[in-house]
Structure 1
């Protein structure tokens, strides 16, 4: 009897035909970030409860959500599966996924990513290994791996493959995070050309324009494709967050808040960590400019209160603290920090989040609280030493820019003007078309007593903002 294979020609040693069909469907939905992935993954396990890759997929989905409760439930289901199924009878690729998942269940993001990388070397058409590895590279802020994990598999694919476009979308995001903006735009546009509903590909192009300060082009690009990214995926809120960033760059705060109220933390919000994160990240940018949004912050802080009770992902902790500080609930922020300090007292060598918390998460959280208390000198003392390795607690350059902007604003307010000048010069040199950067250049020049440069910089910012 011929061995079963998945859609991409990889052998499956176990799993009924119906289970495999639903597994293939689930992978297709996963690559489009659609909620139907959960339905198809569940159907695969209903058809065959001991289907190895069905169980692996189900666990990956929960663990990548960065929700502690979901991760616990997934770990328990995986343990039950492992107690029922003898791994020695599985194919090598299936066993390799089990080993990678074991690392993820233990909180070892880096170990899981390395094992998935080995799978991709031997089986470059294993989409699950590529997708999950790509997400782990994002969670650990590894720009080189975001680029090369997918780039290293591409020659095993061709345009005749149904999911070639999705791979290009992933690759485009890796190129963008690694700073190859011309190439990321080219590859991202090609990905979306192959599949207009490739939200990750659209996202990659949107990131590229954000990192170049090309906000007008970004708005036009998103407007043209509104129906392809704004509904029906897990990514809707994050895509709208990018749109709101463009609005802020254009000086349209009212539009950004309209998006916030309608989508980021609106009536249909799910309350997931990923959505709360985007909401906090937008309001914090306003907070840095002295824009008081206390009512919105309070509602957001309520949402974070239950999510932030235990350490799971340091990047989420930062956004919880932003919300507590924005709402003026500094006691809640202090309690979270004290809890994370206690978390570090018992070493957990295999838990990636503990190292993230120690090296980046706690210094950033302490800096945010210091900013809320008006202690801008402390903010600079905490953030300046880590500003070049903030990526270690995950996220994208665009998301981590909140930290860099906090440092810049604190340098200005504490009159560390030499540092502020350096930070602004770095920003303008990379993104000369960003109005924000020129406005900060004006603030620094003004603080240094150079009124002429300040006036010229502000004039240039306003010119950039004109349609």
Structure 2
């Protein structure tokens, strides 16, 4: 009798125990929950020739920013899969290999084709989705819409109680502006599987985008103590709570959360999360007029320098520029801008020239040349989504533009931007800023 994965697809292992460990490992991986590595290693120990278990372990290494281990594991999976496995399994491993080996455009194309043939192969369906998925980092300006379309193309293949699909369908809708529907889906996913960090993440985003930041704070405050600090999203979910506190005008609470959960010395998150969470929260605090201890900038900068020394990853590049600009390292921003400009001109940067523009703008802002910052950002404001990430993460660019307009005397433009933001998402901070402009 064929062994099956958690969504009913046949898997090539002769061991019931290996299949059980694999199902557990993949579900833990998809819920960003501790224990995935141990479960997958247990599957491999029982059946060393289980290609899909090696492939899932490779995916986990990639998520944890362990490229050499990810590449070694996927190479093993490819070798085994060539001799043993179904057409679906070989395609599964090949798609993961493309993603792990940096061929993102081909991986996205192949993942979509694979999903059309095997729509319940959830590990492959997960690749294009999320804030750091293949759609987000494709350089597309409309990747929020693309994720919704992708989910809708395959919704008929999932039951109404599939916690994984509900999680990412909900997140996709909330990010694309249909916040109420997205929140309801994410809530259903959370209710079905509370031990699912991705559902809490999706729900936090939906609450934030709907102007219910205090709901997100309460959710996280009640849930986070049960999520081990080794969980990959522990620090990032805490960052959402800090963001809510800052929205309410409580910088002391935001800094307290930062110190306990977010800063590099306490976070076990993925490097891209650690760098973006630290840089963006400290930048927000500083530009909103709150004091940021100098040592926090130093620690964040030191961590980031080792994590992303080279330009070419747009989402990280923007946050590296925030850190360098805030700490007065003008030459670091200029070197990164020069490298990004060269990549864009060579056609090897999918996000294009918007990345270097944002980096130049944040340097101008840090140097208090607010008119120059606004001049650079205004023309690219509709292209910021091309750097990837989520709306809550990218909002920092719009905040920088808004404050530049306010501080350079462009009151009419600032009011129009604030009106659009308040229409999109009620925000206590934006309400306070609107009062300042109308006083």
What is the TM-score with the length of structure 2 in the denominator? 0.89
Aligned-CA RMSD value = 2.5
Call closer, same or farther: CA 1:105–1:28 in 2, change over 3 Å: closer
Call closer, same or farther: CA 1:85–1:185 in 2, change over 3 Å: closer
**Structure 1 residue 87 displacement after superposition:** 2.7
Give the aligned partner of residue 255 of structure 2. 257
Give the aligned partner of residue 103 of structure 2. 108
**Structure 1 residue 210 displacement after superposition:** 0.9
Give the aligned partner of residue 324 of structure 1. 324
Structure 1 unaligned residues grouped into runs of 5+: 349-353, 446-452, 455-467
Tell whether 2:128 aligns with 1:133: yes
Match of 2:387 among 393, 401, 410: 393
The number of equivalent residue pairs is 431
**Structure 1 residue 6 displacement after superposition:** 1.7
The DSSP-based 3-state class of the residue aligned with 2:290 is coil
Q: For residues 84 and 220 of structure 2, what CA distance do their matches in structure 1 show? A: 49
Q: For residues 286 and 340 of structure 2, what CA distance do their matches in structure 1 show? A: 24
Q: For residues 89 and 27 of structure 1, what CA distance do their matches in structure 2 show? A: 20
Tell whether 2:410 aligns with 1:411: no
**Structure 1 residue 344 displacement after superposition:** 4.5
Q: Note if contact 1:60-1:132 (Cα within 8 Å) is conserved in structure 2.
A: no
Give the aligned partner of residue 191 of structure 1. 189
Call closer, same or farther: CA 1:73–1:343 in 2, change over 3 Å: farther
Q: For residues 269 and 3 of structure 1, what CA distance do their matches in structure 2 show? A: 41
Give the aligned partner of residue 39 of structure 1. 38
Give the aligned partner of residue 4 of structure 1. 3
Q: For residues 305 and 230 of structure 2, what CA distance do their matches in structure 1 show? A: 28
Q: Note if contact 1:32-1:233 (Cα within 8 Å) is conserved in structure 2.
A: no
Q: For residues 46 and 363 of structure 1, what CA distance do their matches in structure 2 show? A: 50
Q: For residues 184 and 350 of structure 2, what CA distance do their matches in structure 1 show? A: 36
Q: For residues 19 and 221 of structure 1, what CA distance do their matches in structure 2 show? A: 36
Call closer, same or farther: CA 1:195–1:76 in 2, change over 3 Å: closer
Output one character per residue of 1:309-344: Cα deviation in whole Å (capped at 9) or x when no partner.
Answer: 123521012112211222222233333333334445
The DSSP-based 3-state class of the residue aligned with 2:350 is helix
The DSSP-based 3-state class of the residue aligned with 2:377 is helix
Alignment of 1:157-176 (within 5 A): 157-158=158-159, 164-176=162-174
Give the aligned partner of residue 277 of structure 1. 276
Tell whether 2:368 aligns with 1:370: no
**Structure 1 residue 102 displacement after superposition:** 3.8
Give the aligned partner of residue 147 of structure 1. 148
Call closer, same or farther: CA 1:276–1:115 in 2, change over 3 Å: same
Give the aligned partner of residue 459 of structure 1. none
Q: Note if contact 1:147-1:173 (Cα within 8 Å) is conserved in structure 2.
A: no
Output one character per residue of 1:36-73: Cα deviation in whole Å (capped at 9) or x when no partner.
Answer: 112223333344444222232223223344x4xx2244
The DSSP-based 3-state class of the residue aligned with 1:328 is coil
Call closer, same or farther: CA 1:89–1:269 in 2, change over 3 Å: closer
Q: For residues 207 and 196 of structure 1, what CA distance do their matches in structure 2 show? A: 16
Output one character per residue of 1:293-322: Cα deviation in whole Å (capped at 9) or x when no partner.
Answer: 232111110111111212352101211221
Q: Note if contact 2:248-2:428 (Cα within 8 Å) is conserved in structure 1.
A: yes
Give the aligned partner of residue 462 of structure 1. none
Call closer, same or farther: CA 1:383–1:42 in 2, change over 3 Å: farther
Q: Note if contact 1:20-1:44 (Cα within 8 Å) is conserved in structure 2.
A: yes
Q: Note if contact 2:29-2:60 (Cα within 8 Å) is conserved in structure 1.
A: no
Call closer, same or farther: CA 1:220–1:230 in 2, change over 3 Å: farther
Q: Note if contact 2:137-2:388 (Cα within 8 Å) is conserved in structure 1.
A: yes
Alignment of 1:2-151 (within 5 A): 2-13=1-12, 16-65=15-64, 67=65, 70-79=66-75, 81-82=77-78, 84-85=79-80, 87=82, 90-135=85-130, 136=133, 137-140=135-138, 142-151=143-152
Q: For residues 422 and 155 of structure 2, what CA distance do their matches in structure 1 show? A: 34
Structure 2 unaligned residues grouped into runs of 5+: none
Give the aligned partner of residue 457 of structure 1. none
Q: Note if contact 1:308-1:336 (Cα within 8 Å) is conserved in structure 2.
A: no
**Structure 1 residue 88 displacement after superposition:** 7.0
Call closer, same or farther: CA 1:96–1:368 in 2, change over 3 Å: same
The DSSP-based 3-state class of the residue aligned with 2:266 is coil
Q: For residues 155 and 79 of structure 1, what CA distance do their matches in structure 2 show? A: 34
Give the aligned partner of residue 216 of structure 1. 214
Q: Note if contact 1:280-1:300 (Cα within 8 Å) is conserved in structure 2.
A: yes
Output one character per residue of 1:357-401: Cα deviation in whole Å (capped at 9) or x when no partner.
Answer: x33322211211221222222322222122112111210100000
